[in-house]
Amino acid sequence: MSPVFSEETHRNLLSRIPQCTGREVSDWLRTVEDGPSLFRFEEKVSWLRGEHHLSYGHAKAIIHEYDLRRAARKLL
């Protein structure tokens, strides 16, 4: 997996996503879930950037959050 931002930077990016994109983070996570079956982190980031015209930082934060939540579901 690609290196990710610090926890603080990640949370700051997530908090700005709704005002920058007009969509809530939960909407973006559903978009990733319903999107193509890509395996690599950078492929998912590139898909979000290309398909939805997100900045690199926002796309990376969304994919990182998606991966964190998916991993947490597997642990439960």
For the question of whether the overall pTM of this predicted structure is more than 0.85, the answer is yes
In a domain, 1, yes or no: no
In a domain, 2, yes or no: no
In a domain, 50, yes or no: yes
In a domain, 55, yes or no: yes
User: What's the domain count of the chain?
Assistant: 1
Task: Determine the structural domain holding residue 48 and report its residue range.
Answer: 7-75
Burial of 60 (C-beta count, 10 Å sphere; 0-12/13-18/19+): buried
Q: What is the pLDDT of residues 11-21, one digit of tens each?
A: 999 999 999 99
Q: What is the pLDDT of residues 40-66, one digit of tens each?
A: 999 999 999 999 999 999 999 999 999
Positive or negative, the Cα torsion across 21, 35, 46, 26?
A: positive
Closest CA to 63 of 16, 20, 1: 1
